[in-house]
Amino acid sequence: MNMLGKLGDLKKLRDQAVAIQKQLQQEEITIEEGDIRVVISGDQQIREFTVSGITSEDAIKVLNKAIKESQKVAAKKLQEMGGGLGGMLGGGN
């Protein structure tokens, strides 16, 4: 396959990933256990965090920061494994 064909495939994958990301942003998962309620989006952003009826905006910010950091760690591990899109183009780490 030539380089233009690979770039076309890469664009299709990127477009699909963007579409999936937008769909995930619209999803909401609600978990309630005892006095705790968590509402999280499909793209792993906490929208609501309530304990005993008290919502904490600061707690949401910290939880979302923790999720973002965990995503960075996962992305780094995938890159180390050669599982990034660079591998599709024949590039190394």
53 vs 37 pLDDT, higher one = 37
The pLDDT tens digits for 55-81 are: 778 888 888 888 888 888 888 877 777
State residue 93's pLDDT score: 44
Residue type at position 68 = K
Report the distance separating Cα 65 and Cα 44, nearest Å: 11
Tokens for 68, please give them. 């973002």
The pLDDT tens digits for 11-35 are: 888 888 888 888 888 889 999 988 8
22 vs 86 pLDDT, higher one = 22
- Asked whether residue 92 carries a pLDDT value surpassing 50, the answer given is no
pTM of the complete model beyond 0.85: no
